[in-house]
């Protein structure tokens, strides 16, 4: 698989990943190498990564954080900043993030801010991080229940996508990552959407090429608009309502937290409904979207009370301006429209349709 050049870095795949990481280390000669993992990637991914890493005389330190979205916090960042400081990390140190989107988002943020910025590399180990989180330079953490409220856009030195890491990934996490691949089809490429929705199951060997295609789509969008002034907003399809649902389920002890992709799948169904009412999305496209998403994602019960609180959370969405909630909707599959405004009544109607 050919590497993909981004604005400031390169994404390598499978066999090329380790030779390029090792080459980078040889050329840049960092003062120390730090590897950030979480509890699971420490056990499932780190041994494989270390077996391929050639660090020569450079000291390598491993830092482990607890796994899961509820640890994507500024408190964990503080712990990592302190560990870097205790291990005498300096401006020439390199941080390598080996993990899912939580590790790459948080590690990227820590690297972007420690001593006003050190170099970092992302080695994504979940499907979601491979096709989405590790690419494009968005880094950050949650603020309480509010998703990604604090962060910075800053691309790392390189991304290394080794799909063999997926062999230990639980099936529900595979499904979660698949949501972002579906989104790439919906906002950019109908043919890609059709291919994904005709897959029989999420088999790693079938997914390999499709992961590559997803990264190509994400990179094309991000390269044209790295700071999310316009086009990049299309990647937020499903995320305006999806993030609010994710935050709500994360913050309420009586709810089982949803995985990121599970919340985004609901967000895409609701926002597709809004698209039919305000952007001319055809009934056949809407049915195609509904069928394609529900083939992989089951419906989740959301009460009227839940819906009202979720709608209230929309005011924290980062695309909002002057207090107005801005949605990305679809005119057709593959044709998104940014900066759409819809009424709360219509959002409630979309929930009602979803729950029916």
Q: From the list 36, 102, 333, 342, which residue makes contact with ligand NAD (rule: CB under 6 A)?
A: 102
Strand partners, 263: none
CB of 1 to ligand NAD, least distance (A): 19
The answer to whether residue 138 is catalytic is yes
Determine if 241 is a binding residue for ligand NAD (CB under 6 A). Answer: no
CB of 251 to ligand NAD, least distance (A): 15
Structure tokens at 92: 């020439």
- Of the pair 70, 331, the CB lying nearest ligand NAD is at 70
Structure tokens at 216: 């190509």
- The strand pair at 33-38 and 60-65 is best described as parallel
Structure tokens at 302: 């959301």
User: Which one of 169-177, 182-190, 266-274, 342-350 is the stretch in contact with ligand NAD (CB under 6 A)?
Assistant: 169-177
Is the separation of the CB atoms in 317 and 244 below 8 Å? yes
- 61 phi, psi to nearest 5 deg: -115, 135
Distance between CA atoms of residues 91 and 201, nearest Å: 45
The answer to whether residue 91 is catalytic is no
- Of the pair 173, 285, the CB lying nearest ligand NAD is at 173
| DSSP H or E run through 37 | strand 33-38
Determine if 133 is a binding residue for ligand NAD (CB under 6 A). Answer: yes
Q: Which residue has tokens 């919906």? A: 186
CB of 150 to ligand NAD, least distance (A): 12
Is the separation of the CB atoms in 37 and 125 below 8 Å? no
- Of the pair 32, 42, the CB lying nearest ligand NAD is at 42
Determine if 128 is a binding residue for ligand NAD (CB under 6 A). Answer: yes
Q: From the list 18, 35, 41, 213, which residue makes contact with ligand NAD (rule: CB under 6 A)?
A: 41
* Residues within window 206-235 making contact with ligand NAD, judged by CB under 6 A: none
User: Which one of 53-61, 166-174, 325-333, 348-356 is the stretch in contact with ligand NAD (CB under 6 A)?
Assistant: 166-174
Catalytic choice (71, 72, 184, 218): 218
- The strand pair at 146-153 and 138-143 is best described as antiparallel
Distance between CA atoms of residues 62 and 60, nearest Å: 7
Distance between CA atoms of residues 131 and 1, nearest Å: 15
Is the separation of the CB atoms in 62 and 42 below 8 Å? yes
Catalytic choice (32, 42, 147, 239): 239
Distance between CA atoms of residues 322 and 328, nearest Å: 17
Query: DSSP class of residue 321?
Result: B
CB of 54 to ligand NAD, least distance (A): 22
Structure tokens at 99: 């993990």
Q: From the list 154, 168, 195, 223, which residue makes contact with ligand NAD (rule: CB under 6 A)?
A: 168
Q: From the list 93, 176, 219, 240, which residue makes contact with ligand NAD (rule: CB under 6 A)?
A: 176
Catalytic choice (86, 116, 305, 345): 116
The answer to whether residue 236 is catalytic is yes
Q: From the list 9, 55, 67, 154, which residue makes contact with ligand NAD (rule: CB under 6 A)?
A: 67
User: Which one of 11-19, 61-69, 181-189, 301-309 is the stretch in contact with ligand NAD (CB under 6 A)?
Assistant: 61-69
Catalytic choice (69, 157, 180, 271): 180
Distance between CA atoms of residues 87 and 289, nearest Å: 50
Distance between CA atoms of residues 342 and 326, nearest Å: 8
C-alpha 299, offset from chain centre = 21
Determine if 236 is a binding residue for ligand NAD (CB under 6 A). Answer: no
Q: From the list 4, 25, 36, 45, which residue makes contact with ligand NAD (rule: CB under 6 A)?
A: 45
Distance between CA atoms of residues 185 and 214, nearest Å: 8
Report, as residue numbers or ranges, the catalytic residues.
116, 138, 180, 218, 228, 232, 236, 239, 243, 260
Binding site for ligand NAD (CB under 6 A): 38, 40-41, 44-45, 67-69, 72, 99-103, 105, 125-126, 128-129, 132-133, 136, 138, 147-148, 165, 168-169, 173, 176, 260
């Amino acid at each position: 698989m050919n590497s993909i050049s981004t604005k400031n870095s390169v994404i390598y795949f499978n066999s090329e990943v380790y030779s390029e990481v090792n080459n980078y280390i040889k050329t840049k000669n960092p003062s120390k190498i730090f590897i950030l993992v979480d509890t699971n990637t420490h056990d499932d991914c780190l041994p494989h990564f270390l077996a391929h890493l050639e660090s020569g005389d450079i000291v390598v330190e491993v830092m482990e954080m607890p796994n899961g979205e509820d640890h994507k916090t500024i408190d964990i960042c503080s712990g990592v900043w302190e560990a870097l400081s205790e291990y005498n990390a300096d401006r020439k140190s390199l941080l390598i993030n080996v993990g899912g989107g939580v590790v790459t988002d948080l590690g990227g943020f820590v690297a972007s801010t420690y001593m006003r910025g050190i170099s970092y590399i992302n080695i994504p180990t979940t499907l979601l991080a491979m096709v989405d989180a590790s690419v494009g330079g968005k880094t950050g953490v949650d603020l309480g229940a509010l998703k990604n409220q604090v962060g910075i856009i800053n691309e790392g030195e390189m991304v290394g996508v080794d799909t063999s890491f997926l062999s230990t990934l639980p099936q529900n996490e595979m499904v979660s990552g698949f949501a972002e691949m579906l989104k790439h089809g919906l906002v950019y490429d109908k043919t890609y959407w059709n291919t994904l929705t005709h897959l029989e199951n999420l088999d790693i060997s079938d997914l390999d090429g499709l992961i590559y295609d997803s990264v190509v789509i994400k990179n094309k969008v991000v390269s044209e608009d790295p700071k999310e002034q316009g086009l990049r907003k299309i990647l937020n399809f499903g995320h305006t309502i999806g993030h609010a649902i994710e935050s709500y389920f994360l913050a309420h002890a009586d709810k089982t937290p949803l995985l990121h992709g599970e919340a985004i799948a609901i967000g895409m169904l609701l926002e597709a409904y809004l698209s039919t009412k305000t952007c001319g999305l055809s009934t056949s496209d809407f049915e195609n979207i509904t069928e394609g998403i529900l083939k992989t994602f089951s419906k989740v019960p959301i009460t009227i009370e839940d819906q009202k609180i979720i709608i209230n959370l929309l005011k924290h969405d980062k695309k909002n301006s002057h207090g107005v909630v801005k949605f990305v909707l679809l005119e057709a599959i593959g044709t998104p429209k940014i900066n759409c405004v819809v009424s709360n009544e219509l959002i409630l109607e979309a929930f009602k349709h979803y729950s029916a």
